[in-house]
């Protein structure tokens, strides 16, 4: 892998950029791999990357039905934070956040991690109490957060209105090292690094079946032929139920649409990420200048990647209350993604009833921020059979009633 740098750019510029090599190879699949990961989104690619980096397992294929990074990795609002309430969540999201800090250097690919800070606004007494609880929990979890006053909120977000007639801002939970990253770059950076380790990323290859023998995985059938493997990781977000069915087991998951939108770009006016859970909206300003806005999910199962417009209305209306100036901006584009919601709205990183098959899914509305931590933990689980980071996220928790419920502190968990 030729390293990226300003020098490399200058060198290539002199020959009109004709010398750049492919960021990742596009090979035909081999007959067998030690590990096959289904799903070349952020989570799948990160899993492969850390299998190689941390455990030396590089005979790996990542199989992708469409184009890599084309699912929820490429259609989320790119927020990164770890100010979660429950210990298992805080552990994996903080692991992810800390890996994001150095990801550009690790991957030699600028993922533009921007620790610009994330505020979760408290707009009811109940929310104030909820976030104060989270602040206490975070302090013990090693997650640096701080409860801040409305005045401090205003300093950080000059465009905010504190005294809205319905939901005045009563303070906020501030995570200074939360922020955003360039979503596509995360997938591309991991893909390039995986490819450089000799892993095969096979795009436009759909898995059509999971082959098992005596309760153990043997391989997968794909549109590019059968591929054998020792271990199989299913990391396909909204399509997890479908893959699980091929493996002969069920997941406690429903797939629904989640929507987002961006405004036209404007000059910088908001340098931090703001989440307003009472009114179900969150907003940040991208480096291009677009206000990136996300909202809630639809309530019904849906695989169309289209949501219902009244949710967009509700989100925009709510944000206008808190940020009146956006009323005169224009929505440039809206889109939807299919998110997989579990029974407790927390992810599943788990062994499955089929030996050698592992599943990583159920990230719901908040998966992007978890990508490096999820990959790190999933790689450990697949390589060693256990990981402290995944221990609480097993499938067995639904039977035991041992839920990881983050809705406790906030209405939505993005």
The least distance separating another protein from the CB of residue 5, rounded to whole angstroms, comes to 7
Where are any strands of DSSP class E within 3-65?
32-38, 60-63
Distances from the Cα of 53 to the Cα of 109, 299, 372, angstroms? 16, 40, 12
| CA distance linking residue 33 with residue 113, whole number of Å | 32
The least distance separating another protein from the CB of residue 114, rounded to whole angstroms, comes to 6
Classify residue 244 as exposed, middle or buried by CB count within 10 Å of its CB (0-12, 13-18, 19+): buried
The least distance separating another protein from the CB of residue 313, rounded to whole angstroms, comes to 6
The least distance separating another protein from the CB of residue 305, rounded to whole angstroms, comes to 8
User: Which of 34, 314 has the CB closer to another protein?
Assistant: 314
Please tell me whether residue 8 adopts helix, strand or coil conformation. helix
Q: Answer whether 65's CB lies under 8 Å from 206's CB.
A: yes
Work out the widest C-alpha separation in the chain, in whole angstroms. Answer: 64
User: Which of 30, 402 has the CB closer to another protein?
Assistant: 402
User: Which of 212, 278 has the CB closer to another protein?
Assistant: 278
The least distance separating another protein from the CB of residue 150, rounded to whole angstroms, comes to 15
Q: Which residues contact 261 (CB under 8 A, 6 or more apart)?
A: 293, 294, 312, 315, 316, 331, 332, 333, 334, 335
> What count of other Cβ atoms lies within 10 Å of the Cβ of residue 104?
19
The least distance separating another protein from the CB of residue 228, rounded to whole angstroms, comes to 26
Place of tokens 């210990």: 87
The least distance separating another protein from the CB of residue 89, rounded to whole angstroms, comes to 11
| CA distance linking residue 208 with residue 221, whole number of Å | 5
User: Which of 141, 229 has the CB closer to another protein?
Assistant: 141
> What count of other Cβ atoms lies within 10 Å of the Cβ of residue 147?
17
Q: Tokens at residue 322, please?
A: 């808190």
The least distance separating another protein from the CB of residue 251, rounded to whole angstroms, comes to 8
Q: Tokens at residue 307, please?
A: 């949501």
Q: Tokens at residue 371, please?
A: 């990508």
The least distance separating another protein from the CB of residue 325, rounded to whole angstroms, comes to 4
User: Which of 104, 212 has the CB closer to another protein?
Assistant: 104
| CA distance linking residue 408 with residue 126, whole number of Å | 11
| CA distance linking residue 64 with residue 396, whole number of Å | 28
User: Which of 229, 296 has the CB closer to another protein?
Assistant: 296
Backbone angles phi, psi at 378, to 5 degrees: -65, -40
User: Which of 116, 229 has the CB closer to another protein?
Assistant: 116
User: Which of 229, 390 has the CB closer to another protein?
Assistant: 390
Backbone angles phi, psi at 180, to 5 degrees: -140, 170
Q: Tokens at residue 46, please?
A: 């990160």
The least distance separating another protein from the CB of residue 242, rounded to whole angstroms, comes to 6
User: Which of 32, 286 has the CB closer to another protein?
Assistant: 286
Q: Are strands 179-180 and 32-38 parallel, antiparallel or unpaired?
A: unpaired
User: Which of 34, 110 has the CB closer to another protein?
Assistant: 110
């Amino acid at each position: 892998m030729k390293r990226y740098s300003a020098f490399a750019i200058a060198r290539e510029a002199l020959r009109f950029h004709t010398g750049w090599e492919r960021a990742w190879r596009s090979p035909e699949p081999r007959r067998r791999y030690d590990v096959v990961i289904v799903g070349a989104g952020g989570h799948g690619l990160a899993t492969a990357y850390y299998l190689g980096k941390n455990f030396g397992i590089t005979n790996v294929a990542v199989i992708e039905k469409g184009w890599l990074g084309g699912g929820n990795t490429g259609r989320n609002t790119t927020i990164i934070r770890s100010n979660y309430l429950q210990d298992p969540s805080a552990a994996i999201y903080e692991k992810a956040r800390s890996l994001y800090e150095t990801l550009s250097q690790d991957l030699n690919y600028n993922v533009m991690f921007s620790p610009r800070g994330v505020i979760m606004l408290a707009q009811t007494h109940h929310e104030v109490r909820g976030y104060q609880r989270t602040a206490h929990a975070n302090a013990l979890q090693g997650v640096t957060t701080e409860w801040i006053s409305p005045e401090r909120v205003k300093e950080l977000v000059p465009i905010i209105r504190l005294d809205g007639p319905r939901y005045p801002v009563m303070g906020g939970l501030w995570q200074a090292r939360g922020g955003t990253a360039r979503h596509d770059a995360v997938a591309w950076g991991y893909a390039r690094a995986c490819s450089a380790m000799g892993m095969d990323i096979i795009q436009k290859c759909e898995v059509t079946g999971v082959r098992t023998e005596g309760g153990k995985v043997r391989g997968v059938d794909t549109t590019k032929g059968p591929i054998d493997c020792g271990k199989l990781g299913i990391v396909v977000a909204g399509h997890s139920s479908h893959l699980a069915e091929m493996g002969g087991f069920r997941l406690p998951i429903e797939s629904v649409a989640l929507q987002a939108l961006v405004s036209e770009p404007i000059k910088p006016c908001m340098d931090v990420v703001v989440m307003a859970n009472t009114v179900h909206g969150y907003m940040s300003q991208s480096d291009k200048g677009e206000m990136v806005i996300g909202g809630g999910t639809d309530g019904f199962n849906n695989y169309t990647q289209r949501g219902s417009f009244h949710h967009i209305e509700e989100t925009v209306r709510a944000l206008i209350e808190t940020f009146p100036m956006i009323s005169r901006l224009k929505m440039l584009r809206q889109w939807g993604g299919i998110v997989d919601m579990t029974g407790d709205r927390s992810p599943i990183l788990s062994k499955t009833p089929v030996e050698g098959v592992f599943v990583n899914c159920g990230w719901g509305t908040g998966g992007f921020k978890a990508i490096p931590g999820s990959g790190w933990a999933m790689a450990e689980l697949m390589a060693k059979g256990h990981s402290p980071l995944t221990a609480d996220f097993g499938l067995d928790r639904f039977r035991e009633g041992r839920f990881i419920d983050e809705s406790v502190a906030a209405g939505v968990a993005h």
